[in-house]
Every structure is written in C-alpha cells, then in structure tokens.
Structure 1
Amino acid sequence: MPTTHCLYLRRRSEMICKVKKAISRYNMPLEGKTVAVGVSGGADSMALLHVLLELKDELQMKIIACHVNHGIRGETADRDEKFVVEACKKLGVDVRVLKADVPAKARELHLGVEECGRRIRYDFFNSVADGVVIATAHTLSDRCETLLLNIARGTSVKGLCSIPAVRGNVVRPLIDCTRTDIEKYCEQNKIDFVTDETNFEDIYSRNRIRLNVIPELKALNPSVEKSFSRLISNAEEENDFISEISREITEKSVLDDGYDARLIEEQHIALRKRVIFEIINRETGFVPEAIHIDSVNSILKGGKTEIIGDTVVEVKNGIMRINPTEEKTGEWEYNFDSFSAETPCGNFKAEIINKNNLPPKQFVHNKVLDCDSIIGSLTIRNRRPGDKMKIAGSSCTKTLKKLFNEKHLQNRDSIPILADELGICWVQGLGCSDRCKIKPETKKILIIGEDKQND
C-alpha cells in the first residue's frame, strides 16, 4: 500500500508540476486573483478545476466555476449542467450557470453560432467578479489541432502560434498538457466527467483532425505533439519580435489626420503587412484577414478600398485614412440628347458613326457604346445612392460603390455617368454597361469624347 500511495502522489505531482511550470513560463496572472474557471463538465475542464483547487491556497486564489448551457444539445446539455452543479457542490466550489439560446442570439446578431457562443461565454465569465482572471481548459492537444487547422487554411507566422497561453485576462494553465496527460490524471484521481457525443463525429473540421490526422502523424512520430510544441514556441518568439518592431513603426506612422502611407510603404513586405494589420485592428476592432491586408497594401501609393463590412481605407497625398469623410460636391445632372454638355468635371461630347467605320481595335474601347441600345433621353450626371451597373462582360450587377472600391477610384462624386431611361449606360473609369456594349448585330456606335476638367 505505501508503494501504491507514493506512486499516486508522484503521478499527481507530475501534473501539478507541469501546470505550475506553465503558469510561471507564460507569466499567468493568477496569484491573489478571483479566477473564473470555464467548466463544461468534460475531462479537460474537470481536470483544470481540480488542479486549480490544489493550487488555490498556494496562489491565494478564489475559484468560481462557470458553466454555460448553450441551448444547442437539448437534454444532453441539461445533463451536463446538472453534472457540473453537483460536482461543484461536492467540491465546495462556488458555481455560476448561464442558460442561453445561442442559435437565436446568433441569428439576431448575424453571427455564426460558434462565434456567438464564444462571445456569450466570455461576457459571462467577465461578469462574475471585478478584475476576474478567466481560466480555460485548452490543452497542448487543442493547440496542435488549431495549428493544423490554421496551416490547412493558409496562415502566417501569427497563425503558427496557435492558441495563446495568455491573452489579456484569459489564461490556459493546461496549455502544455496533452489530452493523454489529462485522461491519466482523471483516471488516477478518480475524477468523473461527462463526454460530449459530438466529439466522435468527424463531420466537424477539428474532429477530423483529432480522429484522423493526428493518429496518422503519431504513427510517423509518436512525439508529434512535442514537435508541434517546439514549432509553436519558435513561431511565438519570431512573432513577438516582428510584433514589437511593427508596433514601433505603427506609432511612428501616426499623423494628426491618419497614418504615413509613405513610411509604411518603405518597410519590408513582412513588416508592412503587420503594420497594416495593427492599424486596421486598432481603428476598427476587427481582426483583418489576408485579403483585407493585401487590398490595403495595393493602394499605399494612392487609392481607396473597402475591406471589412463598410470599412473604407483611403490613401491620398501620402496619408492613409480609415473611413475618411468624403467631400461632397453635390448632385449635378445635364441633358445629353445633343451629345454635348459642360459639367463640373469637364466638357463631354459624343458622335454617332457606322460600325463599319470603326477600326476593329476600338471595339473594346471603354468610351464606345451600342447606340441602338440607348433608350429614351440621355443625361450625364454624377452618382446617386443605390446606383447599380453590370459592366460589359461581367456576370453580375454590382453597386457603383463596390465597383469604385474594386477599381480604387477616387473623387467619386465627380465621376461622370451617362444614363438613359433604363439606367446607367457608361461610367468614366469603368466603361459601358453590359446592356450597351458592342454586339455582333450593332449598326450604329456612340463614341464619347471629353476635354480636360474645367479649372
């Protein structure tokens, strides 16, 4: 019996020791804090709760267990809630429970169910006490799965860092423990837990990696989780270095009315993209994707682009602005039936010629229209709210706002638009509409000419 008891103590201390090393290594701010422990009832979260209870007196922590019933899994979710409440009662732990209809809230907020559930959980955890530290049960195994998911989707060095051990007031004490470590700890310490039946369904991306990919990788390298841990650690070090430099450049680029686009453009592409990331995140609160960063990078010499939702980034005269206030020129409109008009942005004229007299190379000219497709009276004007157009050769109709963003066109209220009774025929910088393009049956062609903008 003494030998068995010593072995029990040694195995328990191995787990506790690994967690204490992680707390120290990642500077987790737990000492003297009220800690909201996310407890789902699964093996990972129950192990986390028991480990933190072991360390409670040493670190002078107040432990509050927090459980969220997401209203998704019906009776199974109710079972998990009951289990957590009863387990905490036996352990003498204060427990808080939130019942939420996550699917309904997700529809209301126009969010994905997973993202909505995450927001609800963290809002709840933060509400249980002032200055609370949130402890979640993410493990090294979770970290490896997230790493593979990020790689499969295409990621940067930032994505190779996977799940951070610490983010703000959120800590993950089990981040260096594998799922095998957790299962052994629960077995040796007779810790009961519930099992989410969906963990064994490979219809979810993470489950596919857990059930199918990880076992194959372990067949190649039984220590693959330790190898991934080294990769993540190396990526974190490089990411911290790049982040520190990019933050310095971001601060140097700050101007009274925007950011110094020329300074940003001078940087190495890796730093340039990171600075753009920092600026977008700082100004909007959104985490930009690669497509958004590349879009902004493409206009650093000048232009405008729409990135996330209605967020607009404009670079003008070397200054980058987020959601700049546009100077309104007011609406203007002129009759163009005589094929001549003086507008605020220049003098426009047009002439009709026979198709046979047009050189073949000009068939695709963006100022050439099928005259027979023009219906009723012609006007030349600037844009109006809701203006839409299907560009010649395009497969879909888009708003002018979106088209202007895609083409990085500036001074949008001054761009001339030719319209008939059916809608837009031609837009300067975009060309003619699909309805008015030159067709095989076209006989007469309208050619638009313009003088320089009036002074």
Structure 2
Amino acid sequence: MMDSVKSWMQEQKMLQDGEAVLVALSGGADSVSLLYYLKEQSRTTGWNVSAAHFNHHLRGEESDRDEAFCRDLCQKWGIPLQIGDADVRGEADRSGESEEQCARRLRYDFLQKAAAGSKIATAHTLSDQAETVLLHLSRGAGLRGICGIPPVRENIIRPFLRITRDEVEAYCKENSLLFITDSTNTRREYARNRIRLDVVPVLQDIHPGFLKSMDRCTAWLRDIKEFLEQQTQDVLTKACTQNGYRVEELLKHPPAVRREAIMELIRRAGGQAQALHVEMVEDLLSHPGGADLSGKVRARQKDGLLQVQPVHGKEPQWMEPIPLKEGTFLLPSGIQMTVEAVGIDEKENFNKMLFNNAIDCAKIMGTAMIRRRMPGDRFHPAGRGCGKSLKKLFQEAGVPLEQRDLIPVVCDEEGILWVSGFGPDQRAAIGAGTRRLYRFESVRR
C-alpha cells in the first residue's frame, strides 16, 4: 500500500527531498497514518515534518480530548505541533454560513498561517473522494464539482488520495498505531455520513471495484477539466476588449467551452458560478440587457459586449414583511412574485406540480405575510416526514449563502405556510377538503 503512496506522490510531484510539510492532524486513523508515514519516509527524504491541529469546539469534551491526544502523540514522536481553535458555532451564526462551511474556512485559514508558505498535507483518502463526488452529484454539481478533491492544489497535497479508508486502518493495525474516532461519524442526519454508511456499501455490493473505478473516472474528468480551462483562457483572451468581452467571439465556440468561460468570468467577479447564473448570462449573449447574479455580481450585454462585474454597495435589504394579497409585485429582494386566489372549480385543472406552489386559504391562521427567512424559522415540508429549521433545509439543498435571504417565505401567525422552491408546509397543504387556495409564482428579475 505504501509503495503505492510513494509512487503517487512522485507522480504528482508533491514533495521534493528536504522540503517542509505540515500535516493537518485530527487524531483520526487517516491523519495519524499520514503523519506516521511521512515521519518514517523523512529518514531518507529529509522532509521537515510538523503537524497542526485545529479545535472546532463543536463536540464539547470530545473536542478537547482530540486536542490532548494530538499533543501527546506529537510529543511521543518528537514532532513539532501547532494548535489553533475557534468558536465555530458562534462564528457561523454571525457569518450566516453552515457550521461545516465555517469550520472548513477557519481550519484552512489556520493551516495556511501555520504552514507559513510550506506544503500542507491532508489525509483525504479514495473513500473520501467517492463520498465527495457522490455528494456533489446529488446536488447537481457541474464538471468542477464531480472532479472531486484534487491531488494537489497550490500548496495543499493529498498523499492518500489513491488508497481506501480500509487500507489506512489496516496500516494502523500493522504498525500498532492508536487513533481516536469522531462520534458524529455515525450520525445519519449528516448527508456525507448517509452516503458513506448507506450509499457507498450498496454501490460496492453492485461492483466491488467501485472505489477504484471512481478513481479512474475522476482522473479522466480532471484531464477534461484542464483541457476546457485552457480552451477557456484562449477564448477569453481573444474575446477581451477594454470595455468587455466580444459576444460574437464567445458565440463561435461549443457550448461546453462557452459555459466554462462564463463560469470563469463569474468567479473572477467574486461570484459563485451556479448553473442558473450561467444560463442567465448565456441568455444575455442572444438578448441584450442585464441580470443580477446572486446580488454580488451583475452581468450586462450592450452593443455586442458582455460585462460581468462585482456589485458595489449593499444588497437590497428586505426588512419589513409584506401583507399577502392577490396581484403581481416586485419584492425588495428583486424577486417578482405573483399571488392568485383560485376557487375549487378551477383547482381541477391544476397538476401535481402546481400544488407545490399553493396553499389552502382556509388553513391560514390570522394575518398572512410575505417575508424573508428569520432566525428560528422551522418548516415541515408537505409529504416529506419530519420538520427542520430553514437554515438546515437551505444548507442540505445547497442554496448559496448569498441567496438565502432572497427566498420568499409566506407565513401566518402560527408560522411558515410556504417557501419558494420548497412548497407548502404540511399544515397548509392542499387536501380533499380544500375549497379555495392561493397559488404562488416567484421569478428572479
């Protein structure tokens, strides 16, 4: 197994002899094995191996146990260790990120500071790779997402990316390596855990070589991505002028290259290249006009030139709820919303999809309003089992952080009735006794 790791590191040019490398150490089997492997290899390579541990303070005493374990291990092995920590939960509340996103950002910020320009080695395995690709696929990711975790990205290297978690645990046993286990790894409320515990085993039953096949696929996809990125740079260079990008030049190229070029322009402007945003910009190539992309980036096509630029200043603020009434109107978030009251006779013409955009008028308690999400909002999607917070719902659905406050929410004095894109709450859903309903339509202007 470790011969495979050595060949992989050489193939990817991860480390040169005598180079410094900082291992991201959690205390789990993967990172303990990686630290041990690099330590042993350093006897002949001259690598200057050190470690860093970040305490997220998300699991109480268990988080402190992890930190203590890493301290003891590094002291025993004579490896320099840097410790960082943060109140991830508090920072996530302030920033509006999910705890997972916030933890990752803070952890990598710490690792970069601790590394001070040297290489950072993380212990991602082939098993992690498969879980990441499947998670991205389930959320409708593009090519960049389904390429998975890159073996090398700037100063971050992943020596274990071609071996499985089972192989790592066998290596621990062979070398009598002690490690700790995160108790949250078995909790199925986390999407990644469900993929690891439920989805991957089924795929391995269907095809025992699933993980190795996934590895080959992601390698091919990375090659395709690199080719497209190179094509994209050439296209943008040809299309670039002082005042924007020539639409005529962009339209000369195949859709895959054109979309990659659009995504690159959005990223350069500081936005997230979501599929919807790419479609909006593609539409501008044929129809002059403008489009807001997530409130942070604006695209504009005029006189045959495309501009994709960051929006300066604050996003539209949606502070006050708006009374629910019939009509079409523009919400403060920039979304055009139509509300229509429909009687029982007309309801017969509705298809199932439209029921997701309607509520039973008789089930409204008190005054109904349209507003943005609020702290503490809970939602019980009709026909989908238990309820959950809107924050968690948006996180699981992959709604970008900057879009969450723009989504219209219809509520009454008892709570949420309907959420745009997610349908009605269970208590307001259309039923056999429905006599009159409200139908909603919301469109981003």
What TM-score do the two structures reach when normalised by structure 1? 0.68
Of the three residues 273, 276, 286, the one matched with 1:291 is 276
Contact 2:301/2:307 (<8 A) preserved: yes
CA distance in 2, matches of 1:264, 1:145: 35
1:316 has 2:302 as partner: yes
**1:368-379 counterparts in 2 under 5 A?**
none
Post-superposition offset of 1:125: 0.9
CA distance in 1, matches of 2:311, 2:120: 40
* Amino acid aligned to 1:292: H
Change (3 A) 1:110 1:90: same
Contact 2:317/2:332 (<8 A) preserved: no
Change (3 A) 1:295 1:304: same
How large is the Cα RMSD of the aligned pairs? 2.7
Of the three residues 13, 25, 34, the one matched with 1:48 is 34
CA distance in 1, matches of 2:326, 2:248: 36
1:263 has 2:196 as partner: no
Moved more, 217-226 or 391-400: 391-400
Considering only CA atoms, is the larger Rg found in Structure 1 or Structure 2?
A: 1
Contact 1:36/1:134 (<8 A) preserved: yes
Contact 1:67/1:96 (<8 A) preserved: yes
Gaps of 5+ in 2: 338-445
CA distance in 2, matches of 1:303, 1:249: 22
Post-superposition offset of 1:32: 3.3
Of the three residues 213, 216, 234, the one matched with 2:202 is 216
Post-superposition offset of 1:325: 8.9
Aligned partner of residue 128 in structure 1, secondary structure:
helix
Post-superposition offset of 1:403: 5.2
CA distance in 2, matches of 1:53, 1:393: 69
Of the three residues 289, 292, 296, the one matched with 1:303 is 289
Post-superposition offset of 1:31: 3.9
Contact 2:284/2:290 (<8 A) preserved: yes
1:199 maps to: 185
Contact 1:140/1:177 (<8 A) preserved: yes
Contact 2:297/2:310 (<8 A) preserved: no
Contact 1:390/1:396 (<8 A) preserved: no
Change (3 A) 1:394 1:242: farther
1:150 maps to: 136
2:91 maps to: 105
**1:48-67 counterparts in 2 under 5 A?**
48-67=34-53
Post-superposition offset of 1:84: 0.5
CA distance in 1, matches of 2:261, 2:90: 37
Contact 2:19/2:47 (<8 A) preserved: yes
Change (3 A) 1:263 1:189: same
User: Which 4+ residue blocks in structure 1 deviate beyond 3 angstroms?
Assistant: 29-32, 323-326, 388-397, 399-404
Change (3 A) 1:399 1:86: same
Of the three residues 102, 111, 114, the one matched with 1:125 is 111
Of the three residues 51, 56, 77, the one matched with 1:70 is 56
- Identity of counterpart residues, as a percentage? 34
* Amino acid aligned to 1:306: D
What TM-score do the two structures reach when normalised by structure 2? 0.70
**1:139-288 counterparts in 2 under 5 A?**
139-284=125-270, 286-288=271-273
Aligned partner of residue 154 in structure 1, secondary structure:
coil
* Amino acid aligned to 1:224: F
Post-superposition offset of 1:391: 12
Moved more, 188-197 or 156-165: 156-165
Aligned partner of residue 285 in structure 2, secondary structure:
coil
Aligned partner of residue 322 in structure 1, secondary structure:
strand
Contact 2:147/2:221 (<8 A) preserved: yes
Contact 2:330/2:336 (<8 A) preserved: no
CA distance in 2, matches of 1:225, 1:252: 41
1:399 has 2:384 as partner: no
CA distance in 2, matches of 1:241, 1:391: 51
